[in-house]
Amino acid sequence: MSKDNRKHSSKIVDGVEQAPSRAMLRAVGFENEDFKKPQVGVASTWSMVTPCNMHIDKLADSAVKGVNQSGSKAVIFNTITVSDGISMGTQGMRFSLVSREVIADSIETVVGGQGFDGLVTIGGCDKNMPACLMAMARLNRPSVFVYGGSIKPGKGRTDVISVFEAVGKHSEGNISDIELLDIESSAIPGPGSCGGMYTANTMASAIEAMGMSLPNSSAQEATSKIKLLDSMEAGKAVSNLINLDLKPRDIMTKEAFENAISMVIALGGSTNAVLHLIGIAHEAKVDLSLDDFERLGKRTPVLADLKPSGTYLMSELIEIGGIVPLMRKMLEKGLLHGDQMTVTGKTLEENLNDSKNYPESQEIVKDFDNPIKKDSHLRILYGNLAPEGAVAKISGKEGLTFEGKARVFDSEETAMEGIMKGKINEGDVLIIRYEGPKGGPGMREMLGPTSAIMGKGLGDKVAFLTDGRFSGGTHGFVVGHISPEAYEGGPLALVRDGDSINIDASSNQINVSISDKELKERRDSWECPKKNQETGVLGKYRSLVTSASQGAVTTKN
C-alpha cells in the first residue's frame, strides 16, 4: 500500500526513528508486512453492563476479520456504555447523555493517538450510536458504523417498555406481584437493543438513511448470522473507503441529514433523534436546526405502525425486509436525496436499485395514500414557554391540542412520587423541570413517569412537559427539550401550580396563559433552587454543555 492510503499510520510506523512504535506493535500481533498496510481501528462498545451490548465483542471480531481480509490491518479497542434502561428513574440516568460525549471523546482520542487510517465503530445502546458518528465526523477518516442489532421479543411480544408500564398497572392494583414478576422475568430474553422503534432502532435507521452504515444494518437481529456478516462486510468496506479516500464529511452532508430526518419521521421514531442528529451535524460542521425538522415534517408522513405508539416490533419489521423497501418508496416519492454518497462507495439510489418491495400482505408499513399520520409526529413547538423551541411527540392518537392546569415538580423523583400516590388527575399538565442538560445535569429521560401514567390509564388524559428528555419508548401527549431550560431561568422555571398551559400541535405553539408583566415579575424574583455544586464528569459537562435546541454538545466549532 502507498503512503496515500496510510496518511496517518505511516507517521507512526515508518522510518528508523519509529522503531520503538513498531516494537510495541509487534507485541500485539503486528508482523513485518502489517506495517505496510493501512491501519483500521475497530471501536467496540462491548460490555456486560447491558443486553444491548453484551454480544458486540463477537461482532467486533467479525469486523476485524473483514478488515484483515481486505488488505488492511485491524486494531480493536473498547469504549464505555451506560444503560438507559437500567439507570432509568435514578440519579444514575444523569450520566446517560454525558456518556455520549465521553464515548465520542474516547474514540477520537484513541484513533487520533494511534494514527489509524480508518475506523469501524459498533454501537448497541442509545448513546453509543450518536457518539460513534460524532467521533467519525470529528476525525473525518474513512469510517463505517455497524449497529449491534435488535433484541428478540419477550414472551407475549413483550419488551422493556412492557415492564415499565407494568409498574404503573401494579400500583393501581391491576396486576399482582406474581404477574409483575412474570413480565420482569421474560420481557428481555437476551442480547440486543430494545425492540420497538425506540431510540436505538431509530438512530440505527437514521444512520443507515444517512449513508454511514451498510444497507440493512439497521434491520438485523443482534444474534443473527447476517449481523455477523454485516460486521465483516463493514470491515471490508472501510478498506474500500480508504482506497477511494471517501470520508465521513463527504457522506454526512446537509442532504444526508435530511434523509435521516425523513426516515425518522416515516418510522415514527424517537424524539431523541432530534437531539442526536443536531449533535452529529454540529461535529460534521453541517448547519442543522430544529427548524429543519419542522420543515421536513410538513411533507413527510408517518408510515410505520411500530411501537411505542403503534402495534409492531422491530423484529416484525425485520421479517418483511427492514427499512430498505421503505427507503425505495420514499425515494420514488421524492422524499429522499438519492444522489447522496454512502459507505458502499455508491449513491443511495444505486444501493436501492435492486431492492425488493414489501410483501403485499404486510400491514406494518402503510401506503402513502393511507398513512398513520399525514405529517410528522415530531413537532417543534415555540411560545412563551419555549422561546428557543421544544420537541413534542404527537402521534395524533392523543389529539393535537391540550389545555390544562399545571402540576409542577422540581425533579423526576418528586414527580414519580406524586404520580404513584395519585396526585396527577385527568386534565393536568405534569411539569418536571430542572432536569435539562445543565440542570440535571445530564438531561435525564422520563420513561418511569410516562410509563407510570400509561399504566394508570391516564395516557390520553394528561400532558407532560419537561426540559429533560423522553425515552424512545415514551408515548402519550409529551413535550420535552424545552429551551431555555429552567436551570438557566427559562420560562419553565416560572410556572406555578394552577397556571393554565396550552399546547397546540397544529399551530406548533406552547404557552402559559399569564401576561408578560406577570412573567417578568416572577423572573425578577426567581432564584435557582438547585445549588448543588457538581464535580467530576458531571461538573465538566454542566460547564460545557449547550442547550437542547443546539444538540446538548460540549464542543465548539
Active site residues: 471
C-alpha span between 250 and 272 (Å, rounded): 25
- The radius of gyration of the chain from alpha carbons, rounded to an integer in Å, stands at 23
List, in order, residues 6 or more apart from 90 with CB less than 8 Å away.
none
H-state helical runs in 404-515: 412-420, 447-455
What are the backbone dihedrals phi and psi of residue 204, each rounded to the nearest 5 degrees, phi first? -60, -40
Whose cell is 496510510? That residue is 6
C-alpha span between 427 and 286 (Å, rounded): 41
Cα 528 from chain centre: 30
Rounded to 10°, the helix 290-297/272-283 angle is 120
Instruction: Give the 3-state secondary structure of residue 509.
Output: strand
List, in order, residues 6 or more apart from 414 with CB less than 8 Å away.
none
Q: 484: cis peptide before it, omega within 30°?
A: yes
What residue type is assigned to position 63 of the chain? A
Between the alpha carbon of residue 450 and those of residues 27, 306, 416, 431, the distances in Å are 52, 18, 9, 12
Cα 224 from chain centre: 22
Cα 19 from chain centre: 43
Identify any residues that bridge with 23 across adjacent strands, giving them in sequence order: none
Indicate the pairing of strand 477-483 with strand 378-383.
Answer: unpaired
Report DSSP state, residue 36: G
Other Cβ atoms closer than 10 A to 219: 25
